[in-house]
Amino acid sequence: MDYFDIPLENDLWQDFISLKNQPDIFKNYENYFNTLVTWVKKHKSHIESINHELLVSNRLDTVLDVDIEKYLSKNPEILLDMEIKRVFTRRPKTIDSLLMRIGDTLWELVRCHSGKDCPSCIDAELNYILAEIRDTKQRKIVSECDTCGYAENLDGSKYADEYADGYPVNDDDLAKYGVAKRLSTS
């Protein structure tokens, strides 16, 4: 059985949906981010015992240690008052689907918008990430589309490097790598 077909255990789901009852989870984006990260870290060993690819494929491995105070998106496209319905109501069939939901949410909270439309799917925006090439550990800023997966280098050429791990970036990271500050509304 592939890791993405592994059924979601009832105990894991029940523990996850219990998060919605924590008093300050939806108070602000920082609390929401930290609550989800704490839950993933609590279950990290169990998830890795099922299959390590579950964390990697959903980019949870690179977002769990982010300092949310430094990396919170300037304008997350999440409405905290809608999160119970969006994230905690409908039970996913697989553990991968739950982790994808969590990973997408965490990344939305740290997303660094580029202000540039994706040339592949057109209706989505490219977002900056720090790509670390797995073989060489070389790091560079690239833009990628969360909708279709298209990625490009800063010069606009299609990203074609080896496998890389993606990390969130903030304005300080962009400046360090010579990228002009992003739009203040993103």
Token pair 């209706």: residue:
123
For residue 184, give the 3-state DSSP assignment: coil
Same domain, 105 and 148: no
Domain that holds residue 80: 3-110
Same domain, 94 and 26: yes
Instruction: Please state, as a whole number, how many other Cβ atoms lie within 10 Å of the Cβ of residue 99.
Output: 23
Same domain, 155 and 96: no
Q: What pLDDT sits at residue 185? A: 41
Same domain, 9 and 45: yes
* Token reading at 66: 């982010």
Same domain, 82 and 138: no
Same domain, 136 and 74: no
Q: In angstroms, rounded to a whole number, what is the distance separating the alpha carbons of residues 150 and 143?
A: 8
Same domain, 104 and 135: no
Q: Count structural domains, the chain.
A: 2
Same domain, 52 and 140: no
Q: What pLDDT sits at residue 180? A: 76
What is the band of 152 on the pLDDT scale with cuts at 50, 70, 90? very high
Same domain, 72 and 34: yes
Tell me what the mean pLDDT of segment 99-121 comes to.
Answer: 94
What is the band of 186 on the pLDDT scale with cuts at 50, 70, 90? very low
Tell me what the mean pLDDT of segment 132-154 comes to.
Answer: 92
Q: What pLDDT sits at residue 3? A: 72
pLDDT tens sequence across 1-32: 787 789 999 999 999 999 999 999 999 999 99
In-domain check, residue 9:
yes
Instruction: List all residues 6 or more positions away from 169 whose beta carbon is below 8 Å from its beta carbon.
Output: 71, 112, 128, 129, 130, 141
Q: What is the mean pLDDT of the chain?
A: 92
What is the band of 181 on the pLDDT scale with cuts at 50, 70, 90? low
Q: What pLDDT sits at residue 102? A: 98
In-domain check, residue 181:
no
pLDDT tens sequence across 48-60: 999 989 999 999 9
